[in-house]
């Protein structure tokens, strides 16, 4: 695993997130569920807690967008880049953007939203890309069954270096 | 009839695409050094555990075409 230069991380364990818009590829309920489960990947192994907010500011702002969308890192249409997220910090820090030109799914067809969201939230929390194939933070997308998904040892060690272990 | 494209022009396009990929995901972090394209391809090949040749071979091109996260692999 790797962290970003300077090891940016949140200095609190209670984090808020906001979903500002939805993809038409999935029902809102399915998007909400995928996002919630993606956060759980990380809260299951750390003291972090994630709370969804609907109004006002949030630590992690989630949006679907296509092409240039105001952050200087335009998406590239279908394929290639699927999403990106920013390391912890004020403002855009921690925010996660998903390319609306992809076809998002809850299965192995097209691109699985849960898997990509869990990866992006790793960035939102301070993990950079891992070069360990099979790790969630490996940069290339590959499908695994979300029902049986397990965080790799590499990812777990990385996030626990930043935030410690979940107390039993 | 339109003239058939020269093989080297295709190759140039591939190299341009590769450079674009490397600029995006393996950006040059030092202002003092300007590594060659070969060195940059090697860096990418090492990261992905490919055979390190420094050449834009099929395996490397295939990796560059895979769907992926937009965050650079070398954090700046």
Q: What is the pLDDT along chain A (168 residues), one digit of tens a residue?
A: 999 999 999 999 999 999 999 999 999 999 999 999 999 999 999 999 999 999 999 999 999 999 999 999 999 999 999 999 999 999 999 999 999 999 999 999 999 999 999 999 999 999 999 999 999 999 999 999 999 999 999 999 999 999 999 987
Using the beta-carbon criterion (under 8 Å), do B68 and A82 form an inter-chain contact?
Answer: yes
Task: Calculate mean pLDDT across residues B52-57.
Answer: 96
Q: What's the rounded Cα separation, in Å, for the pair A157 and A141? A: 21
SS3 B37: helix
> Which of A68, A140, A141 is the mutation pick for testing B, counting most B CBs within 10 A?
A140
Interface of B with A in 27-46 (CB under 8 A): none
Q: What is the pLDDT of residue A47?
A: 98
Q: Minimal Cα distance from A8: which residue of B?
A: B75
ipTM of the modeled complex? 0.95
Known catalytic residue: A102? no
Average pLDDT of every residue of chain B: 88
To which H or E segment does residue A6 belong? none
CB crowding B26-65: b at 16 or more within 10 Å, else e? beeeeeeeeeeeeebbbbbbebbebeeebebeeebeebbe
> Which of B68, B72, B76 is the mutation pick for testing A, counting most A CBs within 10 A?
B68
- Token output for A159: 């996030």
Query: Got the DSSP string for A145-164?
Result: -GGG----HHHHHHHHHHH-
- Token output for A29: 């309920």
Contacts of A111 in chain B (CB under 8 A): 67
The catalytic position among A102, A110, A120, A153 is: A120
* Residue that the structure tokens 């970003």 belong to: A4
Using the beta-carbon criterion (under 8 Å), do A82 and B67 form an inter-chain contact?
Answer: yes
Using the beta-carbon criterion (under 8 Å), do B69 and A79 form an inter-chain contact?
Answer: no
């Amino acid at each position: 695993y790797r962290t970003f230069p300077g090891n940016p991380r949140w200095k609190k364990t209670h984090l808020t997130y906001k979903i500002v818009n939805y993809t038409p590829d999935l029902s809102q309920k399915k998007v909400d569920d995928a996002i919630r489960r993606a956060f759980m990947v990380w809260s299951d192994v750390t003291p972090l807690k994630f709370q969804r907010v609907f109004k006002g500011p949030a630590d992690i702002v989630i949006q679907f967008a296509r092409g240039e969308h105001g952050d200087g890192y335009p998406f590239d249409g279908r394929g290639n880049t699927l999403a990106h997220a920013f390391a912890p910090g004020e403002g855009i820090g921690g925010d996660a953007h998903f390319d609306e030109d992809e076809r998002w799914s809850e299965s192995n067809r097209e691109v699985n939203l849960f898997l990509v969201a869990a990866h992006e939230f790793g960035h939102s929390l301070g993990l950079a890309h891992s070069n360990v194939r099979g790790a969630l933070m490996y940069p290339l997308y590959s499908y695994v069954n979300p029902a049986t998904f397990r965080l790799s040892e590499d990812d777990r060690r990385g996030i626990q270096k930043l935030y410690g272990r979940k107390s039993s | 009839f339109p003239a058939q494209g020269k093989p080297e022009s295709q190759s140039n396009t591939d190299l341009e695409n590769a450079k674009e990929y490397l600029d995006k995901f393996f950006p040059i972090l030092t202002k003092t050094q300007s590594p060659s394209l070969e060195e940059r391809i090697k860096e990418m090949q090492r990261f992905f555990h490919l055979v390190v040749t420094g050449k834009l071979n099929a395996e490397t091109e295939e990796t560059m075409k895979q769907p992926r996260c937009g965050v650079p692999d070398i954090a700046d």
